[in-house]
Amino acid sequence: MRYNKMITLPIPRMSFWVALIILSILRSAGAEDWPTYMHDNARSGVTSESLILEELNAGWTYDPPAPPQVAWDGGAPWDAYRSSETTIFELTPQRDFDFVFAVTIVGNRLYFGSSVTDSVHCLDARTGRQEWFFTAEGPVRYPPSYDDGKLYFGSDDGYAYCIDASDGSFIWKYTPSEDRRLIGNNGSLISMWPIRTSTAVLDGKVYFASSLVNWQTSYLCSLDAQTGSDNGPGLYRVSGGVTPMGAIMASATRIYLLQGRLQPYAFNRSNGAVIGIFGDRGQSGCYALLTPDSQFIRGHAKFHGEGYELAEHKTVGKDRIATHPNARRLVISENNAYILTSTSLSAVRRSDGNVQWSVPCDYPHALILVGDILFAGGKNKIAAYSITSGAELWTRTVNGRAKALAAASGRLFVSTETGNIYMFGKGRSTQ
């Protein structure tokens, strides 16, 4: 709901300031948080938050000490399987999950994990001023997940952490491996079992996975969110997939893990038992989401091929029911899928596949849906589009490719590969 006009109250002598306070309360009541990576455990990128484009002025910018230090530096430079001595076949990156400092926002606090400072940082979402930071012993590659006043995240040091969201104070940490040896990786000392998935918190439990290489055991974990224990009904530490990385997804009955260059896995959420894989060998990537009707969409790189695609599967039976060629990002609202490719943005009716509209779009790196407005991220720029017509409504400039977007409390947040975080909305700069 939007409040573009002042509400007239039936009180003859209501002062301006009292009316303003009431209006502010009404608007705050309709605000929605962004409490985990891509908003929810389905990684939908969809929020009912309402943004007024005229109020999205450039606010503060976070400048990091260095750009993100990624776990896997892009894709393989060429494909030995398909390339010949005369033709070099460049691969599309399939493990590009930590190229920016993505954020979560709850109230007036913004949180992000850093692969540069090995920390979780808390900023005032209105001003960008740092309130506190908590340092782990290795890179933190995903923003923490918020639940009941606590933050949950994993680190390359092999531990999952729980800290207080208000001040960053330590609550508990847990590692699934008994081997505490560290190895050198990208200039850091890390565990052989780094946690390079996001966390998912659901029904009092926190889920994550840890692994590095496919010749070592990997782990899928379900812990008590309050205590960090893996002992009890629905709590476990099990061998989980081969090389889990990327955003973990959780539904009422299942856990989904991505694997970069290998297919995604599904697990039984109650006991961690393997259900199966989705797609053929190499149909992979680190981008996926669960649809509102519980289908699974995964991608986005092709195996032994260049370019992108997304595929939709039934969660029961795992059959492929739709393929979206060249698609890089996708969000769903009601019966429409909004599909972003390298050159276009389209609205497709899911029931029959009919294209409702399609427009040129040079913003291929990120896509979210905020109320009735689509926001997309491009190189050095971001834009807003109408969901009814695809008309471009608003644009702004940023530095670097905008690969993560988030919206909360009337503000838009943009994370770029330079490590910058931009706020657009009401607030003031601390620079």
* pLDDT tens by residue, 341-360: 999 999 999 988 899 999 99
Asked if the structure places residue 314 within a domain, the reply is yes
Domain count, the chain: 2
Between 312 and 14, the higher pLDDT residue = 312
Q: What span, in angstroms and rounded, lies between the C-alpha atoms of 106 and 35?
A: 6
Instruction: Identify whether residues 219 and 138 lie together within a single domain.
Output: yes
- Tell me, yes or no, whether 431 lies in a domain: no
Average pLDDT over residues 105-110: 97
pLDDT at 430: 46
Reply yes or no on whether the pLDDT at 252 is more than 60: yes
Question: What type of residue sits at position 64?
Answer: P
Is 299 part of any domain? yes
In a domain, 99, yes or no: yes
Q: What pLDDT, on a 0 to 100 scale, did the predictor assign at position 280?
A: 65
156 and 248 belong to one structural domain: yes
The pLDDT of residue 3 is above 50: no
Q: What is the mean pLDDT of residues 167-192?
A: 86
Give the model's pLDDT for residue 426. Answer: 83
Section 58-75 average pLDDT = 86
Would you say residue 429 lies in a domain? no
pLDDT-derived band at 28 (thresholds 50, 70, 90) equals very low
Asked which of 32-46, 269-283, 415-429 is least confident by mean pLDDT, the reply is 269-283
Q: Are residues 155 and 19 in the same domain?
A: no
* Residue with the two structure tokens 């969409």: 297
Whether 430 maps to a domain, the answer reads no
Question: pLDDT digits over 384-419, tens only?
Answer: 999 999 999 999 999 999 999 999 999 999 999 999
Gap between the Cα atoms of 389 and 84, Å rounded: 46
**Which two structure tokens, joined as six digits, stand for 349?**
């009716």
Same domain, 20 and 164: no
Same domain, 247 and 361: yes
In order of 173, 201, 239, 404, the CA distances from 191 in angstroms are: 15, 23, 17, 27
Pairing of strands 182-185, 188-191: antiparallel
Instruction: Give the pLDDT score at 387.
Output: 97
What would the two tokens of residue 193 be?
């079992």
The whole-number pLDDT of residue 198 equals: 95
pLDDT interval class at 111 (50, 70, 90): very high
Q: 313 and 413: one domain?
A: yes
Q: What is the CATH number of the domain that holds 159?
A: 2.130.10.10
Amino acid at 186: N
State percent of the chain over pLDDT 90. Answer: 62
Shared-domain flag, residues 81 and 22: no
pLDDT tens, 304-343? 556 688 888 888 777 777 888 889 999 999 899 999 999 9
CB atoms within 10 A of CB 392: 17
Query: So what's the pLDDT on residue 361?
Result: 97
Q: Cα–Cα–Cα angle for 91, 96, 97, nearest 5°?
A: 155
- Flag whether pLDDT at 103 surpasses 50: yes
The closest alpha carbon to 143, from 171, 170, 115, belongs to 115
Residue of 131, 129, 135 whose CA lies nearest to 117: 135
Look at residues 357, 375, 358 and name the one whose alpha carbon lies nearest to residue 366. Answer: 375
Please tell me whether residues 23 and 80 are part of one structural domain.
no
Which is higher by pLDDT, 75 or 156? 156
Q: Does 1 lie in the same domain as 120?
A: no
Higher pLDDT, 187 or 418: 418
Looking at beta carbons, which pairs linking 125-131 to residues 24 or more positions away fall under 8 Å?
A: 125/408, 125/409, 125/411, 125/413, 125/423, 125/427, 126/426, 126/427, 126/428, 127/60, 127/427, 127/428, 127/429, 127/430, 128/59, 128/60, 128/61, 128/62, 128/421, 128/423, 128/427, 128/429, 128/430, 129/430
Domain co-membership, 66 together with 182: yes
Q: How confident is the model at residue 27 (pLDDT cuts 50, 70, 90)?
A: very low
Range of the structural domain that residue 20 is part of:
1-30
- Lowest mean pLDDT segment, chosen from 100-104, 206-210, 224-228, 297-301: 297-301
- pLDDT band (50, 70, 90) for residue 369: very high
Residue 301 lies in a domain: yes
Residues 265 and 159 in one domain: yes
Statement: residue 12 has pLDDT above 80: no
Burial grade of 182 (CB within 10 A; 0-12, 13-18, 19 or more): middle
Same domain (yes/no): 25, 70: no
Tell me what the mean pLDDT of segment 121-128 comes to: 97
Within-domain flag for 52: yes
124: left (phi over 0), alpha (psi -120 to 50) or beta: beta
